[in-house]
Amino acid sequence: MEGAAVSVLPDDVITRILRRLPARSLAVSRHVCKAWQTIIDDQQLLLQLRQLLLHAVGGIFINYIDHDRPHFFTRPTLTPGPRIDGEFLLVECGEEPWEWYRVQDHCNGLVLRSADNFSDDNMYVINPATRKWDHLPPCGDDEWNRRAFIVFDPAVSPHYEVFMEPSEDVMSPPSWTWHVLSSTTMRWGAELHVWLRVRPHPRVTKLSLANDTYYTIIKSPIDLAECNGGVRSFIGKSKDGVYFAALDNKARLRVWTLSESADKRTTEWLLKHQSALNPYAWSMNIRENDDPQQRTYTGPWNMDVCDDRMTNDNAYYDSEYNKEDWDSDEDNILDVPSNEKEEEEEDDNDYFEIVDFLGFHPYKEAIFLEGA
Amino acid sequence: MAAPESGDGNNGAARMVTLISSDNTRFEVEAAAASLSQTLQLTILDGGGGGGDGIPLPNVDSATLSKVLEYCIKHAPAAANGGAPNATAVDRAELERFDNEFVNIDQSVLYSLIMAAHNLEIEGLQSLVAKKVADMIKGKSPMEIRRTLGFPDPTPEEQAEMNAHMLEYGWAYE
């Protein structure tokens, strides 16, 4: 049997081999030949590995209302890998250094960055890990005032799409026009029309990207009275799909997951977690140091340089905790020790200013919170 | 209650069967070892392969069959224990060592073995050779994989596809 044998092996033998590959090798193998690509796509081998593809959280971006740019927080790690450019220094945008910008949205490692100014020429899609970036063409004059969302799933396609919310007040008109940009063409177009039945807030809308005539409005798990009462809500994607979190001004946290019936016609919010946060106990983890630049935390988060005049992007804070990789499970603030007596007393404190919700962990059931 | 009439029984030597390779070489092995093959198992349960009959295997040559049987004979005792729940750590380590050594072979032999394991449906051997090929693929670019596995030169179409892939994912190979 002379050479060339693997290319003539039966499909199920090839499948058996490919199933043993880690995610990245499998993604590469898709390009070996047409037959392998067909096998990988038909059997959805990459989709089955989706959980493994998203194997690391490099850090989190936090937008500030009083800083000119978002800051990137990382945990010290010993795992070799591409250093993440949290400042987007790689983007050659020719902007003036004092230009303000923020992170609009992110999806599976891609970050949608936009400027805070009124220019219509300021959106970038950046992969901070691979250092690839795209400058998006302008969408319209009022783009700065519209929310944009990015959709990207490397297990399905190397291409991404950006959705631009309609500028009109979505509560009143009967139709809702979204602009869509696909990285295959890098052009805005293929407007997605959604016919809207007006329902009272709060609600969650699900758009089907495959078929623009299909959409669903899903009632949110909290009602209007709670919204008016100051409950803040957050929606995101995590381990098992769509998650909804609500934080009231007593720092009581509730998290639901969206459960869909097999035919996707009926949905239900399942309460997954309910607890009262104790943000005062979190501060016990801070090691005091008068110089804010030197202050570190137990279970430290390293912040990219605060001083924007510094351009040395290696100027990350050192930490003595550089000994092992970070695991989000170790940072469980729900279990921080607290003074039980205090808890028994009637708590009249208003936590509104103290706890804020940052986001959902993309593939573990964890959330990121901020305690002021 | 009548005991089932079967060759091996509990009285004496293990039952033997004869396998005949594509080039007409006869191999006599214990039925328990040959039965690791799902394909052969039914024939053997039906009493085939005994005496002077022999089971012809027109798709497997003698070199490959002798290799396959080496694997089966080594793994038969553990398989008889139902996946060897009571095997000692030493036994398992010994099997692992054997397996690693077993697939440390020439590629042409490996491919014959893949086909034989597939045709004879020997589950453990199929996994073993698949793992070996997967290990040869890991960490390589599409072109390197083709070269390693002895694919013919890519068509211009395939070459263009691979070039596009390198442009898009070049960072993955840095």
| pLDDT cut 90: percent of chain A above it | 2
pLDDT over 60 at A320, yes or no: no
Residue A37: what pLDDT? 86
Size of the A and B interface in Cβ pairs below 8 Å: 86
Q: Which chain A residues are within 8 Å of B161, Cβ to Cβ? A: 31
Q: What are the tokens at A230?
A: 């100051």
> Is A17 close to B145, i.e. CB distance below 8 A?
no
Among candidates B114, B137, B152 on the partner chain, residue whose Cβ is nearest the Cβ of A7:
B152
In chain B, where the domains are located = 60-138
A2 at B interface, C-beta within 8 A: yes
Among candidates A16, A27, A29 on the partner chain, residue whose Cβ is nearest the Cβ of B126:
A16
> Is B108 close to A3, i.e. CB distance below 8 A?
yes
How does pLDDT run across A218-257, given as a tens digit for each residue? 777 887 788 777 788 888 878 777 888 888 877 788 888 8
A12: nearest CA in chain B?
B118
How does pLDDT run across A37-70, given as a tens digit for each residue? 888 888 878 777 665 555 566 777 777 777 777 7
> Is B130 close to A2, i.e. CB distance below 8 A?
no
Among candidates B114, B141, B168 on the partner chain, residue whose Cβ is nearest the Cβ of A13:
B114
pLDDT over 50 at A3, yes or no: no
> Is B145 close to A32, i.e. CB distance below 8 A?
yes
Residue of A203 and A281 predicted with greater confidence = A281
pLDDT band per the 50, 70, 90 thresholds, residue A209: low
| pLDDT cut 90: percent of chain B above it | 40
Distance of alpha carbon A363 from alpha carbon A257, whole angstroms: 13
pLDDT band per the 50, 70, 90 thresholds, residue B103: very high
Among candidates A3, A5, A29 on the partner chain, residue whose Cβ is nearest the Cβ of B145:
A29
Q: Which chain A residues are within 8 Å of B112, Cβ to Cβ? A: 1
How does pLDDT run across A120-132, given as a tens digit for each residue? 457 888 887 777 7
> Is A18 close to B112, i.e. CB distance below 8 A?
no
HSE (CB half, 13 Å, CA atoms) of A370?
13
pLDDT over 80 at A29, yes or no: yes
Q: Which of A146-155, A212-221, A222-231 has the lowest average pLDDT?
A: A212-221
Q: Read off the pLDDT of each residue in A318-345 and give the average, rounded to a whole number.
A: 40
Q: Which CATH superfamily is domain B60-138 in?
A: Potassium Channel Kv1.1; Chain A (3.30.710.10)
pTM above 0.95, yes or no: no
Tally Cβ neighbours within 10 Å of residue A40: 22
pLDDT over 50 at A118, yes or no: no
Residue A323: what pLDDT? 34
